Structure 1
Amino acid sequence: MGDDTLIAFFANADAVAQRIQEWNEYRLKQEIAAKERTIDIQVEKASDAKANKLAAHKLEKIQAWNEAQLERQKLRQKRFEQFKGLVFWLGGWVGSGRSGIFFFISAVLISATATAVAIINLPTFLSCPNSKSLCIN
């Protein structure tokens, strides 16, 4: 009976050791899975943080570009207003007093000169330099 008791004891001890080993392996797998999940979450957080950082940087660039476009538009508008004021001032100066008379007389003289040159050259345009042409008939 002593041998049977020892055999039963060792069989039970082996079964208990087997269960303990299975339980330890299960717990180890659980810990590994938990650490993998923790690592995955940390990686995801890091990638989210990096994506957020890149998005924020891109947003800053877009905002700076928009501000630069607004500044350019304001500068263009300011230049246009200055040009418009200069044109109106020049028009007022040309249309008033002696300067207006000077520009009017200059325009009349230029027109008269252009007309005289055209009239002087008109016979040259109409003449036929070739004696065998049809315009001599």
Structure 2
Amino acid sequence: MSEIKQGLWYSEEHEWVQDMGDGTVLVGITDFAQDRLGDIVFVELPETGTEVGAEDGIGTIESVKTVSDLFSPVSGTIVEVNEELTNAPERVNEAPFGSGWMVKIKLSASPDEAFAKLMNAEAYGKHIDE
């Protein structure tokens, strides 16, 4: 059974969003997604300063099985990327909700607007059970 953390928001594409409370969010992939991908061997992330729209492709995640696109679940500007994943992409497998986070985004809308199309933990649990 995949771990689903309470208090986060989730996209249909299996990204999670953590509201940092200062107009920024952390984004990563869910435990379900990293489990399905298998051993992650490479992560390509966007440059800081990149403006993104909700559902825009912002990078790729390569595993021993496949290459998968990473999508932004919210609109805003990339203000930080997890540089540690360059040399340690396995962190996504080891701690998808911790040191395996991908990007930090400054929201271009209010949190209420930004999270309107995302799912809470309960709804995401139902989504992956379907």
Q: Would the TM-score normalized by the shorter structure come out above 0.5? A: no
Q: Which has the higher contact order (CA 8 A, sep 6+)?
A: 2
- Whose strand fraction is larger, Structure 1's or Structure 2's? 2
TM-score normalised by the shorter chain: which range applies? under 0.3
Kindly indicate which of the two structures has a greater share of residues assigned to helix. Answer: 1
